[in-house]
Amino acid sequence: MNGWLAVLAYVIFPGGLFLVVGSLAYEYVDRKLVARFQNRVGPRWFQPLADFVKLLVKEEIVPEGVSPALFIWLPAVALGAALTAGLYVPLAGLAPTWSFRGDLVATVYLLMMMTLCIGLAGANTTDRFSIIGAVRALTQLFSYEAPFLLALLGPAVAAGTWRIADVNTYAQGHLWMIVSQPLGFVVALIGLMGKLELPPFDAPEAETEIVSGALTEYSGRGLAFFRLGRDIELFIGLTLISAFYLGGLANPLQFLVKTLALLVVTAGLQSLFARLRIDQTVGLWWRLGALAALVQLLVLIVLKSVGVHV
Amino acid sequence: MSTAMSLETVTGLVKPWAVSTAASGPERIDVEVRAEDIIPAVTAITRARWGYLSAITGLDYTAPAAAPAEGAAPTEGAVTQAAASQPLGLLYHFCRDASVLTLRVKLPRENPVIASVSPVLPSAILQEREVAEIFGIQVTGITKDRLLLSDDWPEGLYPLRKDYTPDMVQKIRESTPPPSGAPEAHEKAGTFVVPIGPQHPALKEPAHFDLTVDGEIVTGVTVRLGYVHRGIEKAAENRSWIQNLYLVERICGICSHIHATAYALGVEKLAGIAAPPRAEAIRVLFAEMERIHSHLLWLGVAAHEAGFDTLFMFSWRDRETIMNLLDEVSGNRVNYSVNLLGGVKFDVDGPRRDAILKGMDFLEGRIQHYLEVVTRDESFLRRTRAVGTFPTETADLLGVVGPTARASGVRRDLRVDAPYSAYHQFPVTPVVDDGCDLAARFVVRTKELSESCRLVRAILDALPPGDLSVPIPRRIPEGEAISRVEAPRGELFYYLRSGGGAKPERVKVRTPSLANWAYVLSVAAGHRLADIPMIVVGIDPCFSCNDRAVEVRRLPTGGAPGQEGSSERMSWEELVRYGIRFYGETEL
C-alpha cells in the first residue's frame, strides 16, 4: 500500500478517524452497559464525544513544580502510541493497515506506552495523590503485563507466527481458541481490564482514596488525550482478543458482533466486584494470572512438540 | 445490676475525692470533686470498669444578667460584672446502662486549669480540646492545635462563656493585623503526608486528615474537625425553648428527628411532663424509619468507598422507598419536624399506615439480599474482613457507641439499656457481633435494618390510642437534665440546663460521631492507605445530606418572551413525574 491510499488508511480508515470515532462509540456502549447493570439511566450516545470536546476547549493548567515539556508531551505520546498500535490490528475485520513479522510484540509494547506515560505523568507532578497514583499504576503494570503478554502468545504459538494478521487468518480456519485455550482467554480478557484500570482494578485511580490518581493534576487537553488514548486501547484490546480467541475477524459484521460480545462481558465484570487493593491486585496476578498463563503456554508447547495441533 | 445498685457502687468508688454528692434524678448521681482530684477519681472509675466516659460538658455558672425582660438585650456591663465572680464548670458524664454519674469540677474563672484525663482515657482528648477551645479551660497535657474553631479565630476569645458577645470578634479583628500568610510546614523531613480533605471525593462533609504514609502503609493520623461548626450550642442559648426544637433538628442532615426527640425528651423531663403514649409511639416509629434511611445511606457510601458502585447504586435506589414514605407521612424527606415539646405534630393512620407497611414488605426483601451480599460476596469480604479490627476490650474502654460498638461485641444500645420514649412498650433485640472488623459493622447495620422494619410493623400494629400532645409551659423550671437516645450512629447525648426562663442556659450536644473518632484514630495506623476511607466510614461519620429543592425556575419558551423567570412550585410527586417525562422525551 502506498501513496495517497496509505495516507488515507492512516488518517481516515481504518486508522485515525475511524479508530477515534469507534473508540468513543465503544466507550459509550461500555458506560451505558455499566449504568444499566447498576440500574442507572446512563449517558446519551454523544456523551463521550461531548466530554472529549469539552476537555479540549478547557484551559490546560500546568501546575508548579513540574517539567512543562513532559507534562504537555506525555499525553500526546500516549495517544500517539495507542493510535499507532491500531495500524497492526485487524480493525473492523479488515486486514491490518501495516504488518510485519513480529508486529504482535511491537503492538503489545505500544499498548504499554499508555501506562508508562501515565506513570511518568504522575511522578512528574508534586501532588501527593498523583505520586501515589503513579506508583500504583506502575506496580499494576508490572503485575498484569507479563501474564497478558503470555496470554497473547498462546494463539501466536499455536498459529506458529508472530504476525497479527497471520494469527487472525489461522484463527478463522481452526477451532476457536477460547475452547482450546480457555485459561489464556480469561487471562487476556482480565489483563485487558487491568491494563485499562477498569473496576475492580481501578486502585491506581481510586477516587475515594487518591482522587484521580496520576491524572489528578491534568485538565483540558492532556486529560482529553489520556482518556481518548484509553478508549482506543479498549477498542484495540477487544479487537486483538476477539481476533485471537474468538475465531478471528473475517469481516466487519464478525468484528462488531465479537467485540461487542466481549464488551458486554467486561462491563458485567466491572459492575460485579468491589475494588481490589493494590496489594491484592499484585497478589492475584502473580499467584493466579501468571501461573494460569504459563500453564496454558506449557500445555500448548508440549502438545505442539508431540504433534497435536489445536 | 439495677440502676440504684450501680449508682451506689460508683458513689463508693469516688467517695475518697467527693466534696459533695447529690442524687439529681432517679438515674443520676452528681459528685463534686476538686480539680486536682480528677485524675485519681477517673482512674478509680476506669479501673473498676464502671461504664464509659460519655461526654464532657463545659459550663459557665454565670446567670444571664438578672433574667432580662422579654426582648430587652442584656447590657454588656452587667454580664461582665456578674461574670467576674462566677466559676466555670466542667462536667464529666460517665454512663453505664441507664445510670449516669456526673463528676462536677468547679474552676476559678481567672485561672481555669485542669489536668487532662487522656492518659487514663485516651478517648477524652477530643472532648477536652473542645472545652479548651470554646470555654478557655486550660487542659494541661493536650495539643493546642485547633480542633473546631476556625484558624483565624482570635486567641483568648471563648465563645461559650456568658460574657462573650459576637461583636467582640469583629473588634479584635479590627485592632489586630491579620496573621502573615506563611504556609504551615506540615511535613517533617523524611515523611510523606497525604492530606485527605477538607475537600476530597471520599468525604461527603468537610473534615481534614493528615495521613503520614510509608509507601502504602499508614503510620500516623491527625484529624481537624469543625469546618461546618455553626455555633449551634451558643445559638441555642439565645433562642426560646420552642425555637430550639427547630434549631436542633437541623444539627444533622440525616438523623434530624433523633436530635429533636432527644431535645424534646430532655425539656419534658425538666418541665416534669410526659408526652401521651400515642405521641411517644409515633416518635419511635419515625426514629426507626430514620434509622432505616440512615443505614441504607451508609451502606451505599461504604460500598462506594470500597469501589463497589453497583451496591452503592442499588442501596440508594431502595433507600428512595423509605425517603418517599417519610415524605408522604410528614411532608419532608429530611427534616420531618415530627416533634413538639410535649408530643408530636401529626398522626399516622389510614392510607399512610398502609403505605408504610407496603414499603416495609419491599424493603425487608431487599435487606435480606444485602445481608447476603455483605456476608457472602468474596470480593467485598476481601475489603472488609479483618480490616479495622477493634477489640471488644478497647471499644468498651474508649466509650465507642452505636453500631460501631455493637460490631465489636459491646452490648451497648440505649433502646435496651435505658429504654426511653416508647421503647418500654416496643422492646428491641440488640444486634451484636463479635467480629470486631469492618465486615461485622456491615452485618450489624444490615441486621439492624431488619430489626427496625420489624419495630415499625410492631408499632403500627399496636399504636396506642389517645391524644397527640399535652401543653407545656413556655418557661421551663430551673434545673438540669440529661437526655440520652440511640441515634442511628449511636448514643446521642444532650445536657440541658434551665435557669427558669424562656431560654435555656446551656444546651450541650455530644453526637455519636465525636465518641467514635477515638476508634478511627486508634486503629488507622498500620493499615493500608486504601483501607482508610473504609475505616473512617466504618463509624458512619455524620454527613449532612441536602434536601431537594423543589422550586423550578421555568425558562422562557422559544418565540414568546412570556413572563421571564416566573417560578413554579412542584410537589414531590410532580417533580418525580417531571423527571421521568424529561428523560423520556430526551433521546437517550
Q: Is the pLDDT of residue A234 over 90?
A: yes
- Check if A272 contacts B (Cβ < 8 Å): yes
- Check if A200 contacts B (Cβ < 8 Å): yes
Q: List the single residue in A38, A135, A200 with the smallest CB-CB distance to B307.
A: A200
Note whether B530 contacts A206, CB cutoff 8 Å.
yes
Identify whether the C-beta of residue A38 lies closer than 8 Å to the C-beta of residue B313: yes
Chain B: residue whose CA lies nearest to A274: B308
C-alpha B86/C-alpha B544 separation (Å) is 37
Note whether B308 contacts A203, CB cutoff 8 Å.
no
Mean pLDDT of chain A: 87
**In degrees rounded to 5, what are phi and psi of residue B106?**
-105, 135
Strands B28-33 and B99-107: parallel
- Check if A128 contacts B (Cβ < 8 Å): yes
Number of neighbouring beta carbons within 10 Å of residue A100:
12
Note whether B588 contacts A209, CB cutoff 8 Å.
no
Q: Averaged over A270-276, what is the pLDDT?
A: 86
- Helix (H) / strand (E) element for A186: namely helix A182-195
What would the pLDDT profile of B330-364 be if each residue is shown by its tens digit?
Answer: 888 888 889 988 899 888 888 888 899 999 999 99
What would the pLDDT profile of B89-140 be if each residue is shown by its tens digit?
Answer: 889 999 888 888 888 898 888 888 888 888 888 888 888 888 888 888 888 8
What would the pLDDT profile of B209-251 be if each residue is shown by its tens digit?
Answer: 888 888 788 888 887 777 777 788 888 888 899 999 988 888 8
The minimum CA-CA distance between B50 and chain A, rounded to whole Å, is: 39
Crossing angle of helices B350-376 and B309-330, rounded to 10°: 160
Confidence of residue B50 (pLDDT cuts 50, 70, 90): confident
- Check if A129 contacts B (Cβ < 8 Å): yes
Q: Is the pLDDT of residue B68 over 70?
A: no
Q: List the single residue in B309, B382, B583 with the smallest CB-CB distance to A280.
A: B382
Note whether A275 contacts B587, CB cutoff 8 Å.
no
Q: Is the pLDDT of residue B294 over 80?
A: yes
**Predicted local distance difference test score (pLDDT) of residue B570:** 65
C-alpha B279/C-alpha B346 separation (Å) is 9
Identify whether the C-beta of residue B102 lies closer than 8 Å to the C-beta of residue B29: yes
Note whether B533 contacts A128, CB cutoff 8 Å.
no
**Predicted local distance difference test score (pLDDT) of residue B181:** 52
Q: Is the pLDDT of residue B63 over 90?
A: no
Residues of chain B with C-beta less than 8 angstroms from the C-beta of A199? 307, 309
**Predicted local distance difference test score (pLDDT) of residue A129:** 87
Chain A with chain B: Cβ pairs closer than 8 A:
86
Chain A: residue whose CA lies nearest to B199: A211
**Predicted local distance difference test score (pLDDT) of residue A225:** 93
Chain A: residue whose CA lies nearest to B195: A128
Note whether A128 contacts B193, CB cutoff 8 Å.
yes
Identify whether the C-beta of residue A245 lies closer than 8 Å to the C-beta of residue A253: no
**Which candidate in A34, A198, A273 is best for mutational testing of the B interface (most B CBs within 10 A)?**
A273
**ipTM for the predicted complex:** 0.85
- Residue whose entry in the numeric block shows the C-alpha cell 456476608: B375
Q: Averaged over B5-22, what is the pLDDT?
A: 84
Confidence of residue B204 (pLDDT cuts 50, 70, 90): confident
Residues of chain B with C-beta less than 8 angstroms from the C-beta of A273? 308, 379-380
Q: Is the pLDDT of residue A77 over 90?
A: yes
**Which candidate in B312, B314, B383 is best for mutational testing of the A interface (most A CBs within 10 A)?**
B383
- Check if A46 contacts B (Cβ < 8 Å): no
What would the pLDDT profile of A132-184 be if each residue is shown by its tens digit?
Answer: 889 889 998 888 888 898 888 888 888 888 888 888 888 888 888 888 888 88
Residues of chain B with C-beta less than 8 angstroms from the C-beta of A280? 382
When mean pLDDT is compared over A49-63, A278-292, B527-541, the highest value belongs to A49-63
**Predicted local distance difference test score (pLDDT) of residue B554:** 44
The minimum CA-CA distance between A168 and chain B, rounded to whole Å, is: 35
Selected residue with higher pLDDT from B95 and B198: B95
Sign of CA dihedral B441, B447, B449, B451: negative
What would the pLDDT profile of B70-82 be if each residue is shown by its tens digit?
Answer: 444 444 444 455 5
**Closest residue by Cα to residue B253 from B542, B477, B447, B37:** B542
Note whether B588 contacts A41, CB cutoff 8 Å.
yes
pTM of the model: 0.84
Note whether A209 contacts B533, CB cutoff 8 Å.
yes
**Predicted local distance difference test score (pLDDT) of residue A293:** 86
Range from A117-126, A205-214, B175-184, B393-402 carrying the lowest mean pLDDT:
B175-184
Note whether B532 contacts A199, CB cutoff 8 Å.
no
**Predicted local distance difference test score (pLDDT) of residue B315:** 92
**Predicted local distance difference test score (pLDDT) of residue B547:** 30
Mean pLDDT of chain B: 81
Give the type of residue at B527. H
Inter-residue long-range contacts of B199-206, CB under 8 Å, 24+ positions, other chains counted: B200/A211, B201/A207, B201/A208, B201/A211, B202/A207, B202/A208, B202/A209, B202/B305, B202/B533, B202/B536, B202/B537, B203/B543, B204/B301, B204/B543, B204/B544, B204/B545, B205/B541, B205/B542, B205/B543, B205/B544
Q: Is the pLDDT of residue B471 over 50?
A: yes
What would the pLDDT profile of B537-584 be if each residue is shown by its tens digit?
Answer: 777 776 443 333 333 444 444 433 333 344 456 666 777 787 788 777
Note whether B529 contacts A203, CB cutoff 8 Å.
no
